[in-house]
Structure 1
């Protein structure tokens, strides 16, 4: 899509030397630096909502720090019993994908180099990228360690050019200073920006404007809409809805009658609308921890022993963030990869590992019917301020004592390290 907008606004940009043009050069190359990386769009100067997504972030960090891996397929994840946390684009050629069971990934790409995740290193790089984004615009909404939405509305004078140019400069800076690449999706709302960021990976830059939005979305599968998982796709398919344009046959009220609150989202997105603002520092909706076993486990006592460290992990994260959760969710994955979740709402919020454990224990025992499990996890939702955590309860006279014990353990660990003191539940063979 090339051409000149009214008023002579630039509709093309060189992503290497950052030159702007009223229209895309006939040769397709930048006349200043001869780069072929020229992006063109009729609305390039007016779009301001972006989704920035680093390319194969964990694997890119590993390749950055070990140049010998540059041309090799790299998988970041657990052992053979784990799952793929990330993989490079070379591994993706073989069909490896994130969240794939490791044994399937290695069957497809047996020569891959498998690396255990180093989250501390990834967080350091992610934080540096976050700082660069926040220096570009205050409207940054983090999605994960390596991606975020940005709203650059009104930044033209500050940065001396349209948002598209500012974003291209940001990506070049990330490459230069952090050593990883990123892709940009640029549009007029978050929904379309997110889709656009996947169109041209890696090192991509794609724009979707208002004039083309309906045509662009029409033949996309309904699964393109965030929140539309397998079950909802099946339900939509039963109504003959497999493509986004099929949703436009229905009024909003009809979709809401069929699919509840999700119907409103389906209707808006089908018409290219997304009223959600880019919301900086949006609070976490839940905090969770999980572990995948080397061998399947069916013994309830062993499962409980594996659950306890995750309860401590979640409790530690809640306390660090000064939060408490009122909804507790147990997660299990069977040997055939079926995910089971069970939830319970507490009378008041908690950030104590002991209450997380005691809440999850009966839910876990009910699921222990001889099935073998490969993963267990615990999560806390309905988050609120930590000051509301674990108030005195006449029906639970031991709560105050347990809270003091846990606080004492936390204090020792803060001084001497997490391994300085271990509760009985953490020992092999414990039945506490």
Structure 2
């Protein structure tokens, strides 16, 4: 009887050092990595899966995912009221499977309009009921009334009929923020997601306009910290970004209209940037093809190029960058497409890969769980044909995926 198994590829990418190691095997026991050993030193009582010609690296991480719900259709969020919570949960099951098969073995899921469906999906995956990535979840958005995290665009006499689960995190005052943060964390969330400015995809609002005060943001951070959780802030506009950084958030999501002062503040405070710099091209192409709302397309056009310019400035300034794609804007499973955009806009292929492995784990506080191929960490790994340091787009076509020691995709012919 074997007591574990080993993966023996052509190369192993050490994301910490950047070294491509040959003649290595990853030994797995249960759900953890037991060791990285010379290929000829694999214990005799371990089953071996050879992956000749492939490069193995840690499982990928998307730090800005939305697994719950149908893909965005560019017509606002009032359509959410036409679907049940059960339907939303089942879309999450489908999306989680596609994400995992694409090589993303962990995600930071940063919000759902219908509160706590992401918590249920996380727990179902952890229980082994359905396949999917390891999830860190936000539970619900903390947003001002009528803002980017609220259901807007309804007739005034319909507002009172919106189910309460859509408005768990809707706030007006600082005290409201504290209550909402506690409610969301007590409901099972792992982090807090603030909507600090208007949104591109919402029915109304301006991405450049702040929607939470600095005092509200600071209150959310203080309350979350008491519970051992961090805060991510959706922030497109320059002033909203600076309020969030000064308020102590761990990450800025999007960062589309960041100015030079904001870049400097982020570098000074050690705030992470998670910027979905692929999504703008998808929205522009598919949105125009499929007739998305003109206001959505306009806001996307106004933020896509400025976001990429801000990303380049952050790379040059040494701002900490973690990988996040806003999955759900585009079909789930295409998460790796953004890696090439990281390279196009200033990162080396190694740094792009680190943003989705090593650095993503650090942002999430999961350094002791994921992000590297080291003993004691979860046995999460992917394999691609060729060398991703030469062409990071190889990660768009993973051939082998393992999560927690279980093979969930194997498209490599046995030798």
Give TM-score, length-normalised by structure 1. Answer: 0.23
Report 1 or 2 for greater relative contact order, CA contacts < 8 Å, sequence distance ≥ 6: 2
Give TM-score, length-normalised by structure 2. Answer: 0.24
